[in-house]
A and B are shown apart, each in its own frame.
Chain A
Amino acid sequence: MKSSRYEITVRGRLTDTMLTAFDGLHASPAAADTVLRGEIVDQAALFGVLERIESLGLELLDVRRGPAR
């Protein structure tokens, strides 16, 4: 299974502290939200990220797969 690029949007702007939880992903603001972008190695890792979002009480807005490399 090849890794893919993902773009995950959560509500609100994340500070550095919270960003530490998303090692390997790059965060950029988008209006009042934050988009996390990066290579995610497989489905298990993807669900791991989603679980992280859930455990931090963040609101998940969007999950999108970017163009494959």
Chain B
Amino acid sequence: MAVRTARHATATANRHASVPQPPVMGLVERPRLFDLLDREAGPPVTLIAAPAGSGKSTLLASWLRYTDSEVCVAWVGVPSDETDATRFWATVMDALRGSGAIPGDDPLATLTPAPIGGDDEFAQRLVDGLGRLDQPVCLVIDDLHQLRSEDALRGVQSLLDALPPLLRIILVSRHDPKLALHRLRLAGGLLEIRAADLEFTGAEATELIAAAGVELDAHAVRQLRERTEGWAAGLRLAAMSLSRHAEPERFVDEFAGSERTVADYLFAEVLASQSPEVRDLLLRTSILERVNGPLADLLTGRRDGARLLSDLETANALVVATDVARSWFRYHHLLSDLLRLELQREAADEVPDLHRRAARWLADHDQPVDAIRHAKLGDDWVLAADLLSRYWIRLMLDGEEATLAALLDGFPAELVEADAELTTMTAVDRLFQSRWVEADTLLAAARRSIDAMPSARRRRARTALATVQLFRARQLGDIETVVDDASLLLEGDVDDGAGVDAELQALAHMNLGIVSTWTFRVAEAESHLEQGLALGRSIGRPYVEVGCLIALGVLANLTMRPDLCEERLREAIGIADRVGWSTHSMMGPAYMNLGSVLIDRGALSDGERWLDQADVIMAKSLEPAAGVGLSHIHGQLHLCRRQYADALSYFRDAERMASQLRAPHFLAEVERPWQLRARLRLGEIEAVRDALTSARETAAWCNVAAMLCLEEQDAQGAADAVAPVLAGEVFALHVNLVIEALLLDGIARRALSDDDAAESSVERALELAEPHGRVWIFLTVPGVRELLEAQPVHRTAHAAHLTTLLDQLAGSEPAAYREAVDQPHEALSERELAVLRFLSTNLTAGEIGKELYLSVHTVKTHMRKLYAKLDVHTRAEAVQRGRSLGLLAPARRSS
């Protein structure tokens, strides 16, 4: 058979210690089975199901080596007892990316499992992404029976159900997996290779024996094949012994006559026939999942590890290289199981020490998860606790809570109680499982035991506990108690602690920033969030980046900087899209606030689209406080659309939710005046009058009182009601309330025939509204349209905004700002832009000239030029085009 070139994945650096690669081995080719696998336009799914030692992985590895297909191969070996779906998918992604199948600009290239409250839709995104591939990919999942996560299996099932066209899936397992394969089977979409197929035939057995360099007559080979029943492991073990045996035929005879199990007999033989050094190496290193020279030397105390391993691999023993450089090896599962049993039998008391030594080496060589596992097996709980407390934040940020749970499992209870960090971790685990009461109890316990921590770890333990408490506070909406606790625990700068690594610092800054936002400690919040953002960027943690950006956006919105809010939120949303976290629960506030900003600007449809996305997320939100805000914004939207019953219902929902929070939320009091606005429109005058008998302490209440007066034709009463707001004597939560008061004053003044005062109030309202293009509030006050129409255009400094408002009141919405697809051929100059803005008024060219201190001639020249640039012919067209390009409003940033 001609040697054909293989196409292997070049492994790229990835987070997981074991590089997803097919085992590298040169073995007997089995063309009979290769043909099965090779079938052109064959079934998309292959299942290789056979007991341990049947030669499944070997078959695949040698087939991949010799096939000349152009297919990219992604090989995933499931580690033993894998309970973590996230970890599994991360490995799948690494393998796919390493296989070269994913183009650099495809979303799959940056798809990342979502941490801490992420959705379970990773598999779905992967499936969708694989549907976009334009080259054939072969995904191999080896040792599928070791995948114990139901979530992961469901994901694999959805892959099988979707069957992206260019994807070939090969599943390798010791027993039939818990997957629904019947339909595939019936439809002819499943190729099954089972034990019977894998059994070595006489010819194949002959070839295997010959390849091992053993000379055996045909009769003996037949005996061997019969005794082993063609079981690959048996044949290979036999070959190993035979190659050293002086009398091969006698060996086979004795073997054939023995009643012991094949594995037992041959294993014992193989082990007995090795040199003492090799035997020692095999036994001691059997505790490891993978072994290399240095690690072997550490466990044996000698220096020959690398050489012996390499020899074993070359001798075609059951030792397999796991990386292209052939420095790491693992034993065939069966061999390592038997070796471990033998080790247990011979030297049980040495085993814990071996685990401990391995733990330390692995810890030093950046393989913390394996290090922790070995430390636990070696009863070195102190080491295990230390390693785990240094690593657990990273696990969480990777979304691998299940791995954290598995690593935490088994720690002695007294140890956990005494160790504040372990207690904190356990609390986090309970939080993820929604076991709230336990979690809170554990957090309280951690607080009490924190001072007992050894000084080297105390700083980190404090920071970790504080961060978790802040996270919990966010969940509960309970700000007060926890912020104080947290500040106390942190005692100053987050960053001045040695041993607090970047991930923890970043999370601490982020959570502190978010909670400071709630208590309006603006400067503090911004400082923490900016630090968190910078840190998150530098360590490549999109979770922190997105979290900080969203919090900064929310803060900007709260502090009347909607443009900055939009900028931050769009950046956050962009990152989230890139990594596939658009439906992560953390995105809820982003969509909600962006919707709110857009609605405030009058882009009602766009804003509503974002609110809809927020609705989808809020169902699984971690932050009940955000639900209050969302209902409120929905209410505002309905208010300006004159859907008053709906608006009222939303404002009531918001109040109800706010009252259920543990600590007062700043929106709780606000809801009532808004409800009254809606009720007023619905004609419930009496009810509103009754509710207003109490004090008017804020602008919101003053304005409602004014609206009631106007409803009752009491213009003077209305003017009096809003006077405190205009004078700045009462608290206005939002500038919109001041604008509202000015508009109400304008309406009242016009009714009192005080046109100058009215004009002055409207002008002030426009002045407040124009910088950020605020539109929404104008849409909610009845009578505003007439008020604005009466405003003399030539005397206003805010003609453009006035025009925009009048347009919207007449029914048209502003075009989407950033979504504008076409751009002018050439950018307009400052002058041209200024002229364009006046074109939207009814001023003549001469009058425009007066405003801009230009001659009529110059104005007309500018007009000609800008018509050309905008590719229009009339003034009306120019205005329309200018509006759709977002050029008419001075304060808005163009993209």
Contacts and interface: CB of A to CB of B under 8 A. Distances in A.
B345 A16 contact: yes
A13 B268 CA distance: 13
B166 interface: no
Given A11-B261, A17-B268, A55 B337 contact: yes
A34 to B, nearest CB: 8
A17 B272 CA distance: 13
A21 to B, nearest CB: 5
Contacts of A12: 259-262, 264
B268 A56 contact: no
A45 interface: no
Contacts of A16: 345
A54 B260 CA distance: 17
B131 to A, nearest CB: 36
B260 A56 contact: no
Nearest to B175: A54
Q: Which of B51, B262, B268 has the most CB of A within 10 A?
A: B51
Contacts of B258: 13
B52 A18 contact: no
A69 B175 CA distance: 33
A49 interface: no
Nearest to B53: A57
B461 interface: no
B177 to A, nearest CB: 13
Given A55-B333, A56-B338, A57-B233, A18 B261 contact: yes
A17 B341 contact: yes
A57 B345 contact: no
Contacts of B262: 12
A56 B334 contact: yes
Nearest to B345: A20
A57 B52 contact: yes
Interface in B334-383: 334, 337-338, 341-342, 344-345
A54 B267 CA distance: 17
B263 interface: yes
A54 B334 CA distance: 10
Nearest to A20: B341
Contacts, number: 63
Nearest to B271: A17
A55 B52 contact: yes
Given A13-B259, A56-B263, A18 B341 contact: yes
A24 to B, nearest CB: 14
A6 to B, nearest CB: 20
A54 B52 contact: yes
A17 B52 contact: no
Contacts of A20: 341, 344-345
Nearest to A58: B261
A44 B880 CA distance: 73
A58 to B, nearest CB: 6
Nearest to B267: A17
A46 interface: no
Contact of B341 (A10, A11, A21): A21
B724 to A, nearest CB: 72
A7 B417 CA distance: 42
Contacts of B259: 12-13, 29, 32
Interface in A1-48: 10-18, 20-21, 29, 32
B174 interface: yes
Nearest to B234: A57
A11 B262 CA distance: 10
Interface string B164-183: 00000000001100000000
A63 to B, nearest CB: 15
Q: Which of A10, A14, A57 has the most CB of B within 10 A?
A: A57
A15 B264 CA distance: 6
Contacts of A57: 51-53, 231, 233, 263, 334
A18 B175 CA distance: 21
Contacts of B52: 54-57
A47 to B, nearest CB: 12
A21 B53 CA distance: 18
Q: Which bracket fits the contact residues of A?
A: 10 to 19
A17 B343 CA distance: 9
Nearest to B54: A57
Contacts of A29: 259
Interface in B772-817: none
Nearest to B80: A55
Q: Which of B175, B261, B263, B337 has the most CB of A within 10 A?
A: B261
Contacts of B338: 17-18, 56
Contact of A18 (B53, B264, B333): B264
B263 A58 contact: yes
A55 to B, nearest CB: 6
A14 B260 contact: yes
Contacts of A18: 261, 263-264, 338, 341
A13 B341 contact: no
Contacts of B333: 55
A21 B434 CA distance: 38
Interface in B231-261: 231, 233, 258-261
A21 B263 CA distance: 14
A54 B342 CA distance: 18
Nearest to B262: A12
A15 B266 CA distance: 11
B341 A14 contact: no
Nearest to B231: A57
A12 B233 CA distance: 16
Contacts of B174: 54-55
Contacts of B267: 17
A20 B345 CA distance: 7
A62 B707 CA distance: 86
A67 B345 CA distance: 32
Nearest to B346: A17
A50 to B, nearest CB: 10
A60 to B, nearest CB: 10
A59 to B, nearest CB: 8
Contacts of A15: 260, 264-265, 268
Interface string B262-282: 111101100000000000000
A56 B345 contact: no
A32 B53 CA distance: 21
A18 B340 CA distance: 10
B264 A54 contact: no
A14 B345 contact: no
A13 B344 CA distance: 20
B350 to A, nearest CB: 15
A58 B51 CA distance: 8
A60 B766 CA distance: 85
Task: Give 3 closest A-B pairs by Cβ, nearest first.
Answer: A12-B261, A57-B52, A57-B53
22 contacts: A12-B259, A12-B260, A12-B261, A12-B262, A12-B264, A13-B260, A14-B261, A15-B268, A17-B338, A18-B263, A18-B264, A18-B341, A29-B259, A55-B52, A55-B174, A55-B334, A55-B337, A56-B263, A56-B338, A57-B52, A57-B231, A57-B263
Interface of B: 51-53, 174-175, 231, 233, 258-265, 267-268, 333-334, 337-338, 341-342, 344-345
Given A17-B342, A29-B259, 19 more contacts: A12-B261, A13-B258, A13-B260, A13-B261, A13-B264, A14-B260, A15-B264, A17-B267, A17-B338, A18-B338, A18-B341, A20-B345, A21-B341, A55-B52, A56-B263, A56-B337, A57-B53, A58-B261, A59-B51
